[in-house]
Structure formats: structure tokens, C-alpha cells
Amino acid sequence: MAEIILDTKAFHVAVDKISKDIFDENQNIQNIAIVGIEKKGVFLAKSILSEIAKLAVVDAPQIPFGTLDITLYRDDLDDFGLRMPIIKDTVIPFDMNCKNIILVDDVLYTGRTVRAALDFLMGFGRPKSIQLAVLVDRGFRELPIEAKYVGIKHKSKEFIKVDCKETDGVDKVTVVPTKDGITGG
């Protein structure tokens, strides 16, 4: 049975916390750009962008925004077998050089997705910094990667499922028990 760790209200509180932390750390929003990792990281990044724009009292389009699909940079493509994932567009419509990039993903676990995103991002330029924001940090890292901005920490080897209203009709996060207790984002 799935355990809800963030209901809709708590989900929005976590997004607001991340947004405020990013804004407090990066007062000059002209130097930031937000990049969401496909798929759920993009929806979270858009929410964070909207909240930061409110805090800065600017229109959201004034803050550069991009999306990143790291599928072809993954180190586990062989594990997908015949069920190859759908590749989404990567869109970085701004100059990354000298920007503080806020890289957004839904769940941080082993660190491999973020490593792939970092590899891919470097092909677009040399940012001043890359700051990682995640909704859920579930621990058990395999790589030395940590998020600077975290909605919640929930240490778990079980699958963490993030639902977004754009794709699932509701914003919430659940822990879904798995047979082996090890798989999942």
C-alpha cells in the first residue's frame, strides 16, 4: 500500500520553501536561469519559476527557463531493453555562460540522473554555478552529489512517486513499496 508523504498542501509548501531558498540565495535574479530535468522536474521547475517571479515582483518570462532530457546520457540505457524511453526535447534558449543555473528534478536518489544532466549541460556553455533543487531527497547516494535546495528529506529505498497536476491531475508524493525494495526514482 502506498504511503502519502506529501499531500497537495504539503507539496505546495515544499515548492514554496525551495523557491524562497533559491530567491534568498540568489537576490540578483538577472543572473539565474532555471532548467528542469524531463519529465517531472520540468513541471516543478515551472512552479518554482512562477514563485520566484512573484517574490522578485517580475514577470516569469524575465527569468530564463529551459528543459533538459538526459535520456541519451544515462548510464543505464541497457537496463531498458526493448522498452526504450521516449526522448523529449531539450530546450536551452538562453546563453548559459556566467549564469547561476538552478537545475530542478523531482527526486534525488543515487545521483546518476544529476550526473547525466551535468554532463549534458556542459555542452551548452560554462555557467557561473549549477545549483541543484529537488522536491524529495531520498538518500542512499552512489555519487558525491547533494542538492542545495530540498523540499523534504525522506530516506527510503522504496520507490518515491511524484504526481504533478499537469500529468496526474494532482500534486502529491507517495512511497510505493516494491518487490525488491531497491528500484525507482
Fold classified for 3-73+90-179 = Rossmann fold (3.40.50)
Residue 49: which of 22, 77, 27, 75 has the closest Cα? Answer: 22
Q: What gap in Å lies between CA 162 and CA 172, rounded to an integer?
A: 6
Query: Element (H or E) spanning 95, and its range?
Result: none
Q: Are strands 172-176 and 159-163 parallel, antiparallel or unpaired?
A: antiparallel
Local confidence pLDDT in tens for the 185 residues of the chain: 889 999 999 999 999 999 999 999 998 899 999 999 998 999 999 999 999 999 999 888 899 999 999 887 655 555 555 566 677 789 999 999 999 999 999 999 999 999 999 999 999 999 999 999 999 999 999 999 999 999 999 999 999 999 999 999 999 999 998 876 555 55
Q: Which residues of 121-136 are buried (b: 16+ CB within 10 A; e: fewer)?
A: beebeebeebbbbbbb
pLDDT confidence of residue 87: 73
